[in-house]
Amino acid sequence: MKNGNSSLARRSRVLIVDDNPTNVELIKKQLHGNDYDFEASYNGYDALEKTRTWSPDLILLDLMMPGMSGYDVCKSLKADKTYRFIPIIIITAMSELEDKLKAIDIGADDFLMKPFNKLELITRIRSLLRLKTLYDDLDSSENILFSLAQAIETKDQYTRGHSERVARYSRMLAKALGLSESDQEFIWRGGLLHDIGKIGISEVILHKPGPLNEEEMIHIRTHPQKGFEICSPLKSLSPSLTVIKSHHERFDGCGHPDGLECDKIPLMARIASIADSFDAMTTDRPYRKAMKLEEALKIFDREIGNGQWDPQLVTEFVKMMRNGH
């Protein structure tokens, strides 16, 4: 990663992107005294250039800008493996639920409405900078695993970005449930790596456009155990292993690899299972188009007592998504 550990040797760099200079100065004033260095960009093109040349640790991004919108800036940065882990907080006057969900879907890490509360902004910045520091501090072995996980997805246009979205939805739900910041970080890492075991699965099976036969299903169901075996030697990933191994367990005990049921399934795995299913529903696949948000949420509503997911967690997830995070 381009920034490496540089954020530990200097003050955190915050890039403020807004076409209104008054808004930029207001944010600087609100954050004054918090030991940050600032740069400002007044359009999307300059924001991309400053990201390349200045290497910010966090970006505060307005959505409505002439020429290149905040959506386009966010999408461009999150699609670039060099910059995709720079936290982006959207700060906007746009209040519609669909605006928030669109921002989250393209990779935004947080969303604040104007006018914002100074303390809330500072708290969210500090939280995301801590997460970025944790990622920057990952040892080289972990970075190799994350790179492998990304490489698996880039081979398939239908699953590209899947693990990052699962990680993001999982962290959102963990936060809504009141889990600690460290647990939110553990589930985020687990989400990024939850499908790494697919590195041992034939690409013919992974990319098959139609239904899998019984033999192929048996083979693909080995990926959680394979992923667990790949990641378990790294002590730093120990808290995330339950996500990697158990995200395909079902609340009724009919999942795999261990047939765990109810509370015997670790909480973080139950959370990731919901996130994994939601992303599968709301993205294009070879055999069907993506469902719309409300269509997917209605499936959760309908299936809440049918055994696949933890009913209480599904209720919280649906509420969270309908409330726009």
Active-site amino acid positions? 198
Local structure of residue 285 (DSSP, 8 states): B
Interacting residues of 138 by C-beta distance below 8 A, sequence separation 6+: 146, 236
> Which tokens go with 122?
């500072």
CA dihedral of 258, 261, 262, 267, whole degrees rounded to 10? 10
Q: Is the peptide bond before 115 cis (omega within 30 degrees of 0)?
A: yes
Distance from the Cα of residue 312 to its chain's centroid? 22
Cα(284)–Cα(298) distance, integer angstroms? 18
Distances in whole angstroms, Cα of residue 5 to Cα of each of 8, 16, 136, 193: 6, 22, 6, 22
The SS3 assignment for 307 reads coil
Q: Look at residues 31, 32, 66, 30 and name the one whose alpha carbon lies nearest to residue 47.
A: 66
The SS3 assignment for 210 reads coil
Contact between 23 and 115 under an 8 Å Cβ cutoff? The reply is no
Cα(42)–Cα(10) distance, integer angstroms? 25
Cα(162)–Cα(107) distance, integer angstroms? 11
